[in-house]
Amino acid sequence: MANSLKRPLKFSTSHDASSLGNKRQREAQVLDGSNIVSEKIKAIEDFHHMGTRQLRDQAILRGLSSSGSKKELLDRLCAESEKESKNGTPEGKEEDEEKETSNKDEKVTASFNKVTAGLDQYLPDHIKTRYHVLEHGNSIYDATLNQTNVGNNNNKFYLIQALESNDCSKFMVYTRWGRVGIKGQDKLQGPYTSRGSAIQEFEAKFFAKTKNRWPNRIDFICHPKCYTWLETDHDMNKESSEEKPIFTVERQLQVTRLDPRIANFISLICDVRMMKQRMMELGYNAEKLPLGKLSKSTILKGYDVLRRICENIGKSDTEKLEELSGEFYTIIPHDFGFNKMREFTIDNHYKMKCKLEMVEALGEIEIATSLIKDDIYTQEDPLYSKYHCLRCELVPLDVGSKEFSMIEKYMRNTSDETHYRIDIVQIFRASREGENERFKKFSQTKNRMLLWHGSRLTNWTGILSEGLRVAPPEAPSTHSLGNGLYFADMFSKSAPYCQANWINSDAVLVLCECKSIWQNCPGLFTGSGSGRRCSCSTRKASRAALFPGYVAEK
């Protein structure tokens, strides 16, 4: 059994939440005075480490005069900090605050979540607590731009955010830019006294960098030597995985009504941190375009560029391949550090296939993140919630049962354990919603086979919820038989597609019952004879999944 799955799922005991909350509240009251003092001291120390220009920016942010020498600026800011610390919560109001109803507490929490959602991580803390991303009409004034030019060794980003104070009285425009993978430089402009002024400044910057008007961004046109807008799925009520830990169903102790075997499996495939780590291993920059904000249109654009790259490979047009590679890295951000971009030109089929696998995985993750972020914050049982969202019944098979023994024998007889050992952790019988009904018309067909299909761990939330899917028409065809669903009657043939290794040893394969039509294809896989091609009669039929095997590879 894989080391990562040796530990059984444990159940945490329940605690008295109300008594714990009261204890923390009393501790907070005791520490409140000391916290205010320590925050004031820290703020003053920060001011003393700043240069004159930074001090002037801080003065502008606080509505103070930015003129004078460094000493005058320091005195002005320290006096303001002293004033803020004295304007804390009056002692006479503490008892009233303790008597607030739970409904009001919920409203305060909701308001806090809204004002912190979407803010750039490098904004100063005092801005994060006082401002939120400006939302006006149907627009959220937050834009992430990217530009990659392989020939000129460019791989840079530009971030623009219009900010609104929580009391809606002041507005600012924040920008940050630099090479992908580093913080870069940033700048705050304002404060503006009107929303219109901030919006005008935001739209002017967006046009200057992209040559596209902000109101027309849905029909965005890429221009040479300009930045490209990275379309993201904004939702002010649902924060990104970095801002709200609820996105990740971690493999940790949780109270759940699920069978421990199912719960352990769901925690494995729904772990967004695992997805992020796997994508970073492939070169994807999850910091620049978080997995929870991926849009389908971005993924389809990535497919389209790879298709054009595939058409140009072998034509000896290096300049064209550099141009297309830059376009791909602009749409799908990569962190190359300060390496020369020409080294990453997608100029052969192997490199192109690796990037295609990345985009395919991103497509599966887009489905997964849309599932595992919905309403999970209020769920008492997040694991059960995720299992319910899959709309796929999983029934654990008992070790030694007839089905378990048959599948284990099939696996052992068709695998080569010369270089690694396979341990079965768990086998489930899976039944997707409505799938058995769709497969009924093929149930009497004799030409059926149980075939293996392996896929990356990041893909299984999407596969179990949506079924196995053929690549979209925008994708290039890199398979020997064209785009389609590929199965094998050899476990050792399908297992490598799981991309398991010594570090990440968990792997998942599915054993599908497929209704097949055999066709003779002259010259296929052979020098002069005939090969054989198996194509399922309908795509729906090919998605019938019975007896999935959950295995760990070492």
Q: Find the length of the chain.
A: 554
d(CA 487, CA 543): 11
Residues 6+ apart with CB under 8 A from 37: 85
Q: Are 85 and 68 in contact (CB under 8 A)?
A: no
Backbone angles phi, psi at 78, to 5 degrees: -65, -40
Per-residue pLDDT of the chain (554 residues; tens, 9 = 90+): 333 333 333 333 333 444 444 544 544 444 444 444 455 566 676 777 677 767 776 776 666 666 667 777 777 777 777 665 554 433 333 334 333 333 433 333 333 344 344 788 889 888 999 999 999 888 899 999 999 888 888 888 999 999 999 998 999 999 999 988 788 899 999 899 899 999 999 999 999 999 999 999 888 888 888 898 988 765 534 444 344 443 444 444 457 888 999 999 998 988 878 887 777 777 776 666 665 566 778 888 888 889 899 888 888 788 889 889 888 888 888 877 777 888 888 988 888 888 888 888 888 877 777 776 654 444 678 888 888 888 899 999 999 899 999 999 999 999 877 767 888 999 999 988 888 788 777 777 777 888 999 998 888 988 898 888 887 777 776 666 666 788 888 999 999 888 888 878 899 999 988 876 554 455 554 444 444 444 443 333 333 333 333 232 32
Q: Identify which of 220, 106, 212, 126 has the alpha carbon closest to the alpha carbon of residue 170.
A: 126
Q: Point out which residues pair with 142 in neighbouring strands.
A: 161
> What distance in Å separates the CA atoms of residue 242 and residue 292, rounded to the nearest whole number?
9
Asked whether the beta carbons of 329 and 148 are under 8 A apart, the reply is yes
Tell me the residue type at 3.
Answer: N
Can you tell me which residue has the tokens 């570090």? 503
CATH class held by domain 391-553: alpha beta
pTM over 0.85: no
3-state helix, strand, coil in the chain (%, to 5): 45, 20, 35
Please provide residue 505's backbone torsions phi and psi, each rounded to the nearest 5 degrees: -90, -5
Domain boundaries 245-385, CATH class: mainly alpha
Contact (CB, 8 A) for 381 and 415: no
Measure Cα distances from 396 to 9, 36, 251, 426, 550 in Å. 15, 54, 19, 7, 10
**What is the C-alpha separation between 337 and 516, in angstroms, rounded?**
48
Q: What is the DSSP letter of 471?
A: P
Question: Where exactly does CATH 3.90.228.10 map onto the chain?
Answer: 391-553
CB 429 within 8 A of CB 397: yes
Report in angstroms the alpha-carbon separations of 164 from 116, 167, 467, 472, 524: 11, 8, 43, 40, 63
Spacing of C-alpha 197 from chain mean position: 33
Q: Determine the Cα–Cα distance for residues 225 and 341; give it in Å rounded to an integer.
A: 16
Q: Is 276 helix (H, G, I), strand (E, B) or coil?
A: helix
How far is Cα 483 from Cα 475, in angstroms, rounded to an integer? 9
How far is 110 from 129, CA to CA, in rounded Å?
Answer: 14
Which residues face 515 on adjacent strands? 448
Taking CA atoms, 214 is separated from 8, 205, 208, 217, in Å, by 52, 10, 11, 5
Q: Two tokens at 306?
A: 């790879």
Q: How far apart are CA 521 and CA 210, in angstroms?
A: 50
Which is nearest to 540 in space by CA: 483, 447, 470, 472? 470
User: Residue 31: what pLDDT?
Assistant: 42
Q: Where in the chain is the domain with CATH 1.20.142.10?
A: 245-385
State which H helix or E strand residue 495 sits in.
none
Give 194's contacts (C-beta < 8 A, 6+ positions apart).
171
Asked if 499 and 482 count as a contact pair (C-beta separation under 8 A), the reply is no
**Which residues lie below 8 Å from residue 363, measured CB to CB, with a gap of 6+?**
296, 299, 462
CA distance readout (Å), 38 to 26, 62, 176, 444, 490: 19, 20, 30, 76, 65
Angle between helices 349-372 and 272-281 (to 10 degrees): 170
pLDDT at site 522: 52
Q: Which residues of 209-243 are buried (b: 16+ CB within 10 A; e: fewer)?
A: bbebebeeeeeeebeeeebbbbbbbeeeebbbbbb
Q: Rounded to whole angstroms, how far apart are CA atoms 455 and 451?
A: 14
Phi, psi of 416 (to 5 degrees): -115, 110
Q: Point out which residues pair with 140 in neighbouring strands.
A: 135
What is residue 210's predicted lDDT score, i.e. its pLDDT? 93
Whether 404 and 427 have beta carbons less than 8 Å apart is answered as yes
Q: What angle do CA 424, 272, 369 make, to 5 degrees?
A: 110
